[in-house]
Copies of this chain bind each other. A is one copy, B any other.
Amino acid sequence: MSKHFTALAELSVPTIMALLDRAQYFFHQSPSNLHKVLEHKVIANVFFEPSTRTRISFEMAAKRLGADVINFDLSNSSVKKGESLYDTLRTLEAIGSDALVLRHSDDRIFETLGPKLNAPLVNAGAGKNEHPSQGLLDLFTLQREFGRVDGLHIAILGDIRHSRVAGTMMLVASRLGMKVSLCSAKEFLPSEIPQGCVVEELDKVLPEVDAVMCLRNQFERHEGLDMSYEDFHRNWGLTVERAKKMRPRAIIMHPAPINRGVEIADELVEAPSSRIFRQMENGVFVRMSILEWILRKGN
């Protein structure tokens, strides 16, 4: 088993469930009672793409467990690829980082650099495919709500094609016994539909799902797309009207940042059924779980 944390697709179901259980444990502890299991450890946050939310969430998780954090923001740096990236990571390792939390635009970075490094790498969002800590927090949000993930049915809407959040969820859902409906304009659907996922009409599945996961629409990534934000919202977004069709206990999720009025109506962001800010809270618990797992495996 790899010492890195690169993709939920690489983890067994029992491992994923164990990480969720541990997040549940951390959720129930008060900060002052928490055993500082990572005291004297140093976590380096190495971000080649800006993402303050994820960076701060990992920082908070590390500090709650007693670790020190070194932030290394390279989003404006020229050190982005090839040998110099490797030299940078090896340097951080040599200087004493016990784990490297990495965000980068290249999909293959874990594949190419992982085997050459001694310190474990944690994928904080790399390339277009996986964003596993976000995937885990989505699963934990569902489990905290429903007591399980097995048997749940979720609808995903918005820009599914360009979302590594959706990518992560689609890759693990069927293994975890979940049903995923993809509900978006064809331009926003993935070119290949993963196993266990079905393309469906949003209006049709809404009365059946346990959760709607809205994704940020990045129109700027769709050259030549003839669709306004208003069009998207009316035809494919979670409008106030549509949300009324959801079951009473069904929840609304969004990984943020939010385009209010595009993939989701402004009024729904903090509706009683929304768990959007709860997801951010949960992010810290799952990242504590990930960091502890990655750093204590070898002990």
Contact = CB atoms under 8 A, between A and B. Distances in A.
Contacts of A187: none
Interface of A: 31-32, 39-40, 42, 44, 52-53, 56-57, 59-60, 63-64, 68, 70, 72, 83-84, 87, 90-96, 256-258, 260, 266, 269, 277-278, 280-281, 283-284
A278 B91 CA distance: 9
State how many copies of this chain the complex holds.
3
A94 B258 CA distance: 15
B56 A60 contact: no
A57 B246 CA distance: 49
Would you list the 9 A-B pairs with minimal beta carbon distance, nearest first? Answer: A94-B280, A31-B40, A94-B277, A94-B281, A32-B40, A63-B68, A60-B96, A91-B280, A60-B95
Contact of A53 (B68, B83, B91): B91
Nearest to A87: B258
A247 B266 CA distance: 61
A57 B70 CA distance: 10
A56 B46 CA distance: 12
